[in-house]
Amino acid sequence: MVSTRSVEVTSGLVYSEADGLPLQADLYRPDSDGPVPVVVYVHGGGFEVGSRSDRARERLVPFATHGVAVLSVDYRLAPAAHFPAPLHDVRNAIRWIRNNGSDHGLDTTRIGIWGASAGALLSAVAALQPEVNELGDASVQAAALWFGVYDVAAAGARSWLEAAVLPSSFEKALLGAQTPQSDLAREASAIESVSADAPPILLAHGDRDQMVSIAQSADLHRALVRAGGRTTFVTVGGAGHEDVRFETPAHLAMTAAFFETELTQPM
């Protein structure tokens, strides 16, 4: 059933500043009398392009009608910035919710993260490497990860022929001058950080994805299972990368139900 709940949109919220420039977010809050749970949404775009408003009408608004708010964030992009700069931005968005979310009708104790493609890599690392320091708490209670790269070294491996004929890959945009076998690449690989303490994770990947192998999600799922984590892996039949099949009412309702359930669990 498609929800008819109305959604209030607040655009241009400044959640942080980086390199002297404001970083902005858009909030999609479902109509509710009380504070609502919220997820940080991290867009895709190969770490070079993309915006917080991407797929808003098709993805973010319909999701929010199910009762979970979405804070969709911009973050620093290549070539001006490389990892870990965008990860710092995502973590600061989580901290912004904890410090300011109550002013916007958000439950600051019930925070998840949701990312697609490049955003899924950043979301996975933020979820599996929770950071609590003098700047605040950047941990989350649940994560939904769509068609992302979680093992940078494996994704960047190419034969001499593949390197010669395939278009340039995402690794340079992510890592700058570092190689997929570098320490920085391992830091950017969520699969290196799995543990029994991981928050619940919902993975979704299309079996026709020609840009990011479905093996990336399958391998992270298996690693989480072996570590004792709580994980669910959904294969979307016939779907390619950033496919509209991920935006069907059923798939968005499933993703929202995952967050509704996990964000109401005791801390």
Catalytic annotation, pick one of 66, 72, 104, 117: 117
Residue 209 annotated to the active site: yes
Gap between the Cα atoms of 86 and 115, Å rounded: 13
| Cis before 200 (ω within 30) | no
Gap between the Cα atoms of 140 and 108, Å rounded: 10
Gap between the Cα atoms of 237 and 95, Å rounded: 36
Catalytic annotation, pick one of 51, 182, 241, 243: 241
CB 182 within 8 A of CB 212: no
Helix H segments across the chain?
61-64, 85-100, 118-128, 152-156, 160-165, 171-175, 183-187, 215-227, 249-262
Residue 241 annotated to the active site: yes
Burial (CB count within 10 angstroms: exposed 0-12, middle 13-18, buried 19+), residue 265? exposed
Catalytic annotation, pick one of 209, 217, 221, 251: 209
Q: 31, 145, 18, 190: which is closest to 93 by C-alpha? A: 18
* Dihedral angle sign, alpha carbons of residues 223, 191, 241, 8: positive
Q: How many CB atoms lie within 10 A of CB 165?
A: 9
Gap between the Cα atoms of 115 and 267, Å rounded: 22
* Residues annotated as catalytic (active site), given as ranges: 117, 209, 241
